């Protein structure tokens, strides 16, 4: 099975799910090149190895080189869901101390949110806002719109938003329309939102004039975070 890489963002952390074999040739090169591309604007990376069927010595060498590249860029790379056969390879190669491995995505993401963790060193510029929308273009717009005044985190999956809400505090949640999720996840999300300020982005937000939509949203955020008292 050829290696496939499925990437998603969970707040400031980028999770890369590896499916297939990490072996000499195109597979190893594709992983190295993909992480190098992510380093243009990301510094906190998790490799999910749960679906890796086989790794050879060249593939393991690629992982070591990739970790080195990330740390040279002042970021960090963590592993999660490491299968038993890969764990044994890491032990035999004396690499368990080199790689920071976690049993789940949530624990790997949480490790980046521990104060003092080696990670993307963005200094928060204001109140913390979590943006949840299934439209990647909307999330990119919201990051740029809000980054000057707020500490912005984004997610396109409700279950990832729940991870972030469990491991860190947010002052405000922006929610787009029609976020797919199971009934159990929806219920958990509603419970998590009970004590949080929430602004719902209507379906028209993505198609309105960008300037008008942005200005209107900034006014709503200001009103929710800094309500005027009589």
Indicate if 9 and 101 belong to the same structural domain.
yes
Structural domain harbouring 146: 128-225
Could you give the 3-state DSSP secondary structure of residue 7? strand
Per cent of the chain over pLDDT 70 is 95
Do the domain assignments include residue 119?
Answer: no
Residue 118 included in any domain: no
The pTM of this model reads 0.84
Tell me the per-residue pLDDT of 51-92, one tens digit each, with 9 for 90 and over. 999 999 999 999 999 999 999 999 999 999 999 999 999 998
Is residue 125 within 8 Å of 150, Cβ to Cβ? yes
Domain count, the chain: 2
pLDDT for position 123? 47
> pLDDT below 70 — which residues of the chain?
116-125, 229-230
* Helix (H/G/I), strand (E/B), else coil: 105: helix
**Tally of CA atoms within 13 A in the half-sphere of 127 that contains its CB:** 14
pLDDT reported for residue 229: 55
Residue 120 lies in a domain: no
CATH code, 184: 3.40.50.2300
Element (H, E) at 221: helix 210-225
Domain end (from 112, 141, 163):
112
pLDDT number for residue 218: 93
Same domain, 103 and 149: no
Residue 123 resides in a domain: no
148 and 85 fall within a common domain: no
User: Does 87 lie in the same domain as 22?
Assistant: yes
Sequence-ordered alpha helix ranges (H) in 96-209: 105-112, 136-146, 158-167, 183-193
Q: Is residue 191 part of a domain?
A: yes
Buried b (16+ CB within 10 A) or exposed e, 111-143: bbbeeeebbbeeeeeebebbbbbebeebbebbb
Q: What is the pLDDT of residue 118?
A: 63
């Amino acid at each position: 099975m050829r290696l496939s890489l499925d990437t998603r963002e969970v707040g400031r952390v980028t999770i890369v799910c590896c499916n297939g074999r990490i072996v000499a040739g195109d597979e190893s090169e594709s992983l190295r090149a993909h992480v190098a591309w992510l380093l243009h604007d990301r510094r906190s990376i998790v490799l999910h190895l749960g679906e890796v069927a086989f790794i050879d010595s060249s593939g393991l060498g690629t992982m070591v080189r990739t970790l080195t590249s990330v740390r040279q860029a002042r970021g960090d790379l963590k592993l999660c869901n490491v299968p038993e056969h890969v764990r044994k390879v890491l032990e035999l190669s004396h690499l368990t101390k080199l790689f920071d491995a976690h049993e789940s995505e949530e624990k790997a993401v949480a490790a980046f949110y521990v104060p003092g963790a080696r990670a993307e060193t963005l200094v928060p510029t204001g109140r913390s806002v979590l943006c949840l929308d299934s439209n990647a273009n909307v999330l990119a717009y919201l990051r740029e719109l809000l980054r000057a005044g707020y500490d912005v985190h984004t997610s396109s999956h409700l279950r990832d938003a729940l991870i972030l809400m469990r491991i860190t505090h947010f002052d405000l949640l922006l929610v787009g329309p029609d976020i797919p999720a199971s009934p159990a996840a929806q219920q958990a999300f509603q419970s998590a939102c009970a004590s949080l300020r929430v602004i719902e982005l209507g379906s028209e937000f993505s198609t309105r004039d960008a300037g008008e939509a942005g200005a209107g949203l900034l006014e709503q955020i200001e009103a929710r975070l800094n309500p005027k008292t009589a």
